[in-house]
Amino acid sequence: MAPPPEDDPLVVGSHFNYRNRPRRDQAWGVLYGILLALTIIGGAYGIMHRNHRFSNAFQQDYLADPRNCPLQQPGQLKDEPEPEQLDLPAFFKQASLWLVVSAIASVLLGIAFLQLFKHQPHLMTKVTIASQVAVPAALGVAALIAGQFGGGLMMLAMAALAGLAFYLWRNEIGLCARLLGVSAHALNSNPGLVLLVVVTKIVMTLAILPMFAFMFLAYTNGHIGRNGEVAKVTRARQCLNGEGQEVPCCAWQPDAWVSAYMSLTSVVLLWTVFLFGQFRIFTISGTIAQWYFAPPEAADALKGSTLRSARFALGPSFGTLSLGALVLTLIEMARQALQQAQENRQNGENLIWSLLSCCLQCIWGLIEYITKFATIRAAITGEAFFEAGRSVTDLLMRNFLKAYGVWWFPPLVLQLAAFLLSAAWGVFIYVISYFAWHSQPHAQAQAVILGVLSFFMAWVVQAFFASVLLDIVNAVFICYAMDKDTHSVTNAEVHEVFSQVPVGVAVEQPDGEVAYGAPVPGGYAPPAQTGAAHGHGQPYAGTAPPPPQFARHGPYDSQAHV
């Protein structure tokens, strides 16, 4: 898709960089490509040289015979009679129609989830927050009735503490509702985002499944060898360990290269998953930024904005996304290493490791936070990763450092709302399926399985939409902060929402208009802007905002402005 001409209203004065995007951080994209190629080559080698007798490694009788190996891995359980079980193939055959209906209904629930947050963001937020108090309170009362006074009082105390915290943060909760309403409105204006994210998830699945297969097939390169735990072989050909316990005489021993290959593939697999996540954030942010900064006369030109952002992601900014994904990969590997080290420590060292873990988790969380917003900034400007990281860090410190509570509530509200809606759907399916099957054997077990499967299908869909909405919240905020940095009001309804945030610079006048107050002493005060128009929101001198007609969109929801 060719970029708009220089005189296009989309381009003139816009914060979004439509043109002149050179390739950034190319070396990291090349490094990822090399490691991915090595993974594929190693997987192909593993397929061609696999040991076709690998299945013997699962035969206990074969492993127990010392004649089958120059010996090796531990004990097997004795076979015991099993109770009568549910016939799962028959169950899935019977429940297939139910599952299809539930899958379709899960998608409809996802659409309803978006519409509820678009039209009733305050109601959804209040219900979600209220459940955080009501659920532990109900559990506490139930525990008291059952005679569990200690547990009951603790649950009631938790409910009271949650209620107090939400009361103290009531203004931020109201802002959270307005933010979610803006996000749902933005997603409704860019429906192509949903299709793109769905396709991205499908492609990611198709990309990572072969890697799992490569690791398994690489592991089949080896031989049956001596079990290192064997200390003695009896005349009856039984193998015993140092404690006199019987162990298998043989075990599977992969070839020397397999361990290194599986480590490499694990890193590439993790890197690939994070890379697709970075791609999703980048394309969503780029699309929302084009929507946010577009003037009214260029509304038709926004068609194809999602594909434009995807092209930037796979082209000039692919190296930037690769570097961001590598940072997240290294953090995840460090977390896993720290967790493993903690598990191997003695009890006396637990306190030290807990303190170290707490400090490191804070540092890693901060890096992840900056990485996410650096990706959003890069999607808008086309900057390199570290350049975008520095820019967005300065932007956040200047504009939103005091509003940290706001960014804790949207994930809480969306994730809990998704869980509650999915749980309600699972319970509903359980109830109606139980009444439909109550005369059959194992009716309750079948209904429980169907209800759990329905819950998970619905939860996956709701969590998907919730993650998209959260990415939009973050993208809209960065666009707003870039606006405020230049004393512009590009999108009036978004500024109306964010003017509720106590950041010390943006304030709301008695007549409802947005204006900028005096800067915080010692804080950042951008110079007054005059001159040419900036998009459809013009920079201005002094504190007066542009008049309301600069707003591109109509009110997205009457309740979101309350």
Average pLDDT over residues 262-287: 93
Residue 539 has pLDDT above 50, yes or no: no
Q: State how far the Cα of 510 lies from the Cα of 508, in Å rounded to an integer.
A: 7
Q: State how far the Cα of 286 lies from the Cα of 526, in Å rounded to an integer.
A: 25
Q: State how far the Cα of 59 lies from the Cα of 64, in Å rounded to an integer.
A: 9
Q: What pTM does this model have? A: 0.71
- What is residue 346's predicted lDDT score, i.e. its pLDDT? 58
Angle subtended by helix axes 88-119 and 170-189, to nearest 10: 100
Q: What does the pLDDT look like over 321-346, one tens digit per residue?
A: 999 999 999 999 998 888 887 776 65
Helix, coil or strand: residue 43: helix
Which of 71-80, 292-301, 435-444 has the highest mean predicted lDDT (pLDDT)?
435-444
Report the helix count and the strand count for the chain, using DSSP H and E: 15, 6
Phi (first) and psi of residue 226, to 5 degrees: -70, 135
Average pLDDT over residues 476-502: 71
Q: State how far the Cα of 482 lies from the Cα of 466, in Å rounded to an integer.
A: 25
Tell me if 539 sits within 8 A of 487, measured CB to CB: yes
Q: What does the pLDDT look like over 44-57, one tens digit per residue?
A: 998 888 887 777 77
- What is residue 111's predicted lDDT score, i.e. its pLDDT? 77
Q: What does the pLDDT look like over 226-239, one tens digit per residue?
A: 777 777 777 777 78
Q: State how far the Cα of 314 lies from the Cα of 352, in Å rounded to an integer.
A: 44
pLDDT mean across residues, the chain = 75
The domain spans of the chain are 26-77+87-470
Which stretches of 238-382 are assigned E, i.e. beta strand?
A: 239-240, 250-254
Would you state the structure tokens that stand for residue 147, as one six-digit string?
A: 């005679």
Phi (first) and psi of residue 506, to 5 degrees: -85, 130
User: Within 13 Å and on the Cβ side, how many CA atoms surround 412?
Assistant: 19
